[in-house]
Chain A
Amino acid sequence: MYRHTLKGKVYRFENLKMLLAKASPYRSGDELAGICASSYEERVAAQITLADVPLKNFLNEAIIPYEQDEITRLIIDTHDPVAFEPISHLTVGDFCDWLLSDHTTCNTMQQINAGITPEMAAAVSKLMRNQDLIAIAKKCEAVTKFRNTIGLKGHFSTRLQPNHPTDDPKGVAASIIDGLLLGSGDAVIGINPATDSPAAVANLLQLIDNIRQQFDIPTQSCVLSHITTTLQLINENAPVDLCFQSIAGTEKTNSSFGIDLALLDEAYQATLSLNRGTVGNNVMYFETGQGSSLSANAHFGVDQQTCEARAYAVARRYKPFLVNTVVGFIGPEYLYDGKQIIRAALEDHFCGKLLGLPMGVDVCYTNHAEADQDDMDNLLTLLGVAGCNFVMGIPGSDDIMLNYQSTSFHDALYLRKVLGLRPAPEFESWLIKQGITDDQGNLLSVADGHGLLNRGMP
């Protein structure tokens, strides 16, 4: 039992799970789940109460029972007491101030991150203002490598997302070429396939691999099929660079996705064994998003942001190349408007980075959310300041397969320009060699006869 008295009124919170839910900044999904604070005062009372909870309590009070959930077991069993030692005497509130301190650097945070549980990260994020989430994330650096290097300070990457409603090879290739000529695609060229049939996925993999090899592009490909499809294709010698899967923070949600840790382990080992990376071997690409556990009716009364942070425990087990929180895709019953989407994205980015992950964000919204391009511009800019590793690059922001709006190739160029950010170093050299940018990063006019135009189409 946790409690706090405000002007004679006693607020009681039965357990850590309920305290976390009540302390969460307002969002529609927690309201839908019936677990959010019932007044503004109760929310702040919960935050004041949470600030006084020792971090050690999180190791003794599982929010989903150890016996019931393999993600809880993963969190507890892989917790590193040595890494935790320097912060073991802190409360959640102390931890907030400790993270903000000028003495806490990227290096300090890297030394303790195996001692931070996702629930600790979620808890401290709930006490923070947006600027705190940005300032601390900015200090972190999560660098990963495959055929290039993503996440270096001062660099900002994109996933080129050339989706097509029928996976038409020419349609996909046209979007890839458009994106490459606008400097997109250093994080990955990643397609959401319209169908999960292995043959169709294999064709798309081959398509990207051909373009990549033909133009010697230092990047990696991914077709975001179910992990079982990818495993099958690995066995059939398809050119799999990164292995994709959507993941979530409870065993039951993952089970609704048709996965568990054993399957992820198997796919991770299989992908590693291909040894296709040239500068490193981070091979996994994960997508997450607040609300997935509620949507699968598998949240156990845990608030959606804490569920999301628990997904990062799954992610970090596999030293992923990219982790992408698809923040505004799920719809207004989970994140209603621009304010909620922006807050959630900053929380996810912060929690992921604090736990050592190479976080990117799909800055996006659907047409039934109270959001528009202005909200996305705000969020994109905030994430750029916060040091986000990558965002999506989609022709004109309009994904014609998934029917939602994300960031455009142009949006990434804007961010690089206003914040002085550069693509992954290997990719930047390639852009210069191809005459797409000059050595200052300025985009050049593409000549009619550019090789990508002449020879890029299948």
Chain B
Amino acid sequence: MKKVIKSSDPLIALQEFTAARIAIGRAGTSIPLKQSLEFKLAHAHARDAVYSSLNVDGLIADLKQFDLPVIHLHSQAGYREQYLQRPDLGRKLDEKSVEQLKEYHQPTDISIIIADGLSAAAINTNVIGLLKALIPLFQSVDFKLADIVLVEEGRVAIADEIAAAMNAKLSLILIGERPGLSSTDSIGAYLTYQPKPGLTDESRNCVSNIRPDGLNYKQASKKIFYLIQEAFSRKLSGVALKDNAGLLHE
């Protein structure tokens, strides 16, 4: 009789070369239950991350250590399902938030914006650690920081509207990235020099996969800080900045 159920796979030795789900055996010709449940669990974590919410109170309390007031805003996307289907609404502030920002117009260098994006869990877990590494770098060269903004149901481009309204020279948004099966807590950082509403990706620079097991806080801060210094010295950001930034390809 042919052996049809395999408990192990002779390819297991190859697993050291890739994180891909190779050598997972088979039950008949199907994926064995154990592997199938592992996959399901990873997907469940990713789904939970997409539907997670910013821990606003906890974040505001933790952000106090940086001695910067915190402003709490909301995009025009009213709820998660709408956020997922209408990226245009996630790029704009709602009416109340626009009003709230009217009192902030003292010129500053950098506006730091924190948004849930596609994983609020990433922000809840990793943003304070990242800021602890990053803010001292800004202070070391006397960048004037605007009040920190926390925005719910936000997309990347909302940072440009916020920073422009606040009269900041540069916007830096720290936003939860789309969760993968292997990581659900990555932060992406996007910066725009002379931000204004309507700019698109070619005006921005991005540092992604920021999390302790990816690009760690210290490495990420170093990259972000380098990009921001370059942006200020060359008075631009985006494609043109990236092309000349040799340090990024180290």
**Residue positions of A touching B, CB distance < 8 A:** 28, 31-32, 162-165, 168, 170-175, 177-178, 181-182, 332-333, 336, 366-368, 372-373, 394-398, 400, 403, 405, 408, 410, 413-414, 417, 442-448, 450, 453, 457
B107 within 8 A of A: no
| Residue in chain B with minimal CB distance to A445 | B3
Question: Is A174 within 8 A of B22, CB to CB?
Answer: yes
Question: Is B180 within 8 A of A367, CB to CB?
Answer: yes
Task: From B10, B24, B26, give the contact of A443 (CB < 8 A).
Answer: B26
Task: From A174, A332, A445, give the contact of B85 (CB < 8 A).
Answer: A332
Docked pose: A119 CA to B178 CA in angstroms: 35
| Residue in chain A with minimal CB distance to B51 | A368
**Do A175 and B6 form a contact, CB below 8 Å, given A336-B84, A373-B39, A417-B29?**
no
B68 within 8 A of A: no
Tally of contact residues, B, Cβ under 8 A: 41
Docked pose: A366 CA to B118 CA in angstroms: 12
A292 to chain B, nearest CB (A): 15
**Residue positions of B touching A, CB distance < 8 A:** 2-3, 6, 10-11, 13-15, 17-24, 26, 28-31, 35, 39-40, 42-43, 46-47, 49-50, 84-88, 118, 178-182
| Residue in chain A with minimal CB distance to B50 | A368
Task: Jot down 20 A-B pairs with beta carbons below 8 A, ordered by A.
Answer: A28-B85, A32-B86, A32-B87, A164-B18, A165-B19, A170-B18, A174-B14, A178-B11, A336-B85, A367-B47, A367-B50, A372-B43, A395-B22, A397-B21, A398-B21, A398-B39, A398-B181, A408-B31, A413-B29, A445-B6
Question: Is B43 within 8 A of A31, CB to CB?
Answer: no
B36 to chain A, nearest CB (A): 8
Question: Is A170 within 8 A of B39, CB to CB?
Answer: no
4 smallest CB-CB distances across A and B, nearest first, come from: A396-B21, A413-B29, A171-B18, A178-B22
Question: Is A367 within 8 A of B179, CB to CB?
Answer: yes
Task: From B11, B15, B20, B30, give the contact of A400 (CB < 8 A).
Answer: B20
Task: From B17, B85, B178, give the contact of A170 (CB < 8 A).
Answer: B17
A412 to chain B, nearest CB (A): 9
Task: From B21, B42, B46, B179, give the contact of A395 (CB < 8 A).
Answer: B21
B65 to chain A, nearest CB (A): 32
Question: Is A403 within 8 A of B180, CB to CB?
Answer: yes
Chain B residues with CB below 8 A from A400, complex form: 18-20, 182
Question: Is B180 within 8 A of A332, CB to CB?
Answer: no
| Residue in chain B with minimal CB distance to A418 | B29
Chain A residues with CB below 8 A from B14, complex form: 174, 177-178, 453, 457
Chain A residues with CB below 8 A from B28, complex form: 417
Task: From A170, A405, A410, A414, give the contact of B43 (CB < 8 A).
Answer: A405
B46 to chain A, nearest CB (A): 4
**Do A368 and B178 form a contact, CB below 8 Å, given A174-B14, A178-B11, A396-B39?**
yes
Docked pose: A170 CA to B22 CA in angstroms: 13
Chain A residues with CB below 8 A from B35, complex form: 396
Question: Is B11 within 8 A of A181, CB to CB?
Answer: yes
Question: Is B43 within 8 A of A333, CB to CB?
Answer: no
Chain A residues with CB below 8 A from B11, complex form: 174, 177-178, 181, 446, 453
Task: From B18, B85, B182, give the contact of A175 (CB < 8 A).
Answer: B18
| Residue in chain A with minimal CB distance to B3 | A445
B226 to chain A, nearest CB (A): 21
| Residue in chain B with minimal CB distance to A334 | B85
| Residue in chain A with minimal CB distance to B179 | A367
Question: Is B50 within 8 A of A443, CB to CB?
Answer: no
Docked pose: A181 CA to B18 CA in angstroms: 17
B184 to chain A, nearest CB (A): 8
**Do A373 and B40 form a contact, CB below 8 Å, given A332-B84, A410-B26, A443-B26?**
yes
Question: Is A367 within 8 A of B85, CB to CB?
Answer: no
Chain B residues with CB below 8 A from A181, complex form: 11
Question: Is A178 within 8 A of B23, CB to CB?
Answer: yes
Question: Is B20 within 8 A of A164, CB to CB?
Answer: yes
Docked pose: A408 CA to B87 CA in angstroms: 30
Chain B residues with CB below 8 A from A174, complex form: 11, 14-15, 17-18, 20, 22
A95 to chain B, nearest CB (A): 32
Chain A residues with CB below 8 A from B42, complex form: 398
Task: From A165, A372, A414, give the contact of B30 (CB < 8 A).
Answer: A414
**Do A448 and B15 form a contact, CB below 8 Å, given A164-B20, A368-B50?**
no
Chain A residues with CB below 8 A from B87, complex form: 32, 333
Docked pose: A168 CA to B20 CA in angstroms: 12
7 new A-B contacts at CB < 8 Å, known A163-B20, A444-B2? A336-B85, A367-B49, A373-B40, A396-B20, A396-B22, A405-B181, A445-B2
Chain A residues with CB below 8 A from B179, complex form: 367-368
Chain A residues with CB below 8 A from B19, complex form: 165, 400
| Residue in chain B with minimal CB distance to A410 | B31
Chain B residues with CB below 8 A from A368, complex form: 50, 84, 118, 178-179
